[in-house]
Copies of this chain bind each other. A is one copy, B any other.
């Protein structure tokens, strides 16, 4: 589809003129030889395709303070706090995505070969979407969480896919569901050579960017049918408040050993202790889960928002 490439080209040109040059759409129209609505469409395309990257480059005092306090208390290498948007909480994870992408870029930019691993979830996905294109074929990207749904369908647009596409790096996908159907199924999977090959790469990763899951009626594990209602109730009864990579934990960050845990196929958290584990999550609902992950000492880095940051510091003081 060469036609599409050409269109993207012109979209990029329009974006330069509009966002960097500050020209009006009329001026751009006459310069590119299209109508004004044409420019409109080009700019919309440019944004949609993620050609336009905006970053706000100022440490907001409140956020800085929160990030410093959290970083100190939990011994993090870094903690980014993005401002909260009390309007629609829905698109709030866009902010996390942009801030997370900035951190991710720091790793990828390095020219020395690098192995990075990725968790699953909307926020992680949005982060790689927000990432700049950067040619780094020497890097390797590996998923920590199975990208196969329970019905056997593989998610073509996994975060790893997007990341590898954007950098030209190698991709390693975990051929498994997050939670296996049974203990036997999990055992069978762990025995597979391919499965082992991927987890071996994951263990060599330098850093891991993961999401944080809440454990309640809206838990992603439950919503995506990885666990059923009975299992969810079991987790809640055992005081689970959140999960990392599918591993449920109490509010103190201890991983809960139960019937579900024995079917989780993702890498045991213990094995990731040496890695830079970076979590991306925010919002009032996820705050208890984030706090649990911090208390457990699992994380080395955190990207969150004001709401969650405030909750965490309030709960700790």
Q: Which residues of A contact B (CB under 8 A)?
A: 5-6, 8-9, 11-13, 15-17, 19-23, 27, 31, 46, 49-62, 82-83, 85-87, 91-92, 94-95, 98, 106, 109, 132-133
Docked Cα-Cα span, A98 to B83, in Å, equals: 26
Chain B residues with CB below 8 A from A17, complex form: 83, 85, 87
- CB-nearest residue of chain B relative to A61? B9
Given contacts A55-B132, A56-B52, contact A61 B16 (CB under 8 A): no
Asked if B12 and A56 sit within 8 Å, CB to CB, the answer is yes
Q: Which residue of B lies closest to A130 (CB)?
A: B20
Among candidates B16, B27, B54, residue contacting A82 with C-beta atoms closer than 8 Å: B16
Interface contact B133-A83, CB-CB below 8 Å: no
B53 touching A23 by the CB < 8 A rule?
Answer: no
Instruction: Determine if A19 and B56 form an interchain contact, defined as CB atoms under 8 angstroms apart.
Output: yes
Q: Which residues of B contact A49 (CB under 8 A)?
A: 58
Is there an interface contact between A20 and B61, defined as CB atoms closer than 8 Å?
A: no
Query: Is A31 touching B109 in the complex (CB atoms < 8 A)?
Result: no
User: Which 7 interchain pairs have the tightest Cβ spacing?
Assistant: A12-B58, A19-B54, A51-B58, A15-B56, A53-B55, A57-B132, A12-B60
Q: Is the CB of B51 within 8 A of A56?
A: yes
Query: Smallest Cβ distance from A204 to chain B, in angstroms?
Result: 23
Once the chains bind, are B31 and A85 in contact (CB under 8 Å)? Answer: yes
Nearest residue in B to A91 (C-beta to C-beta)?
B21
Within 8 Å by CB of A98, from B20, B50, B56, B95, lies: B20
A-B contact pairs, 16 of them (CB 8 A): A6-B61, A9-B58, A12-B56, A12-B59, A19-B54, A20-B94, A21-B85, A21-B94, A21-B95, A22-B91, A49-B58, A52-B54, A53-B57, A54-B54, A57-B132, A58-B133
A24 to B8, CA, bound (A): 26
Give the complex CA separation of A53 and B86 in angstroms. Answer: 24
**Which residues from B are CB-within-8-Å of A57?**
50-53, 132-133
Least CB distance from A33 to B in Å reads 11
Instruction: Return A283 CB to nearest CB of chain B, in Å.
Output: 14
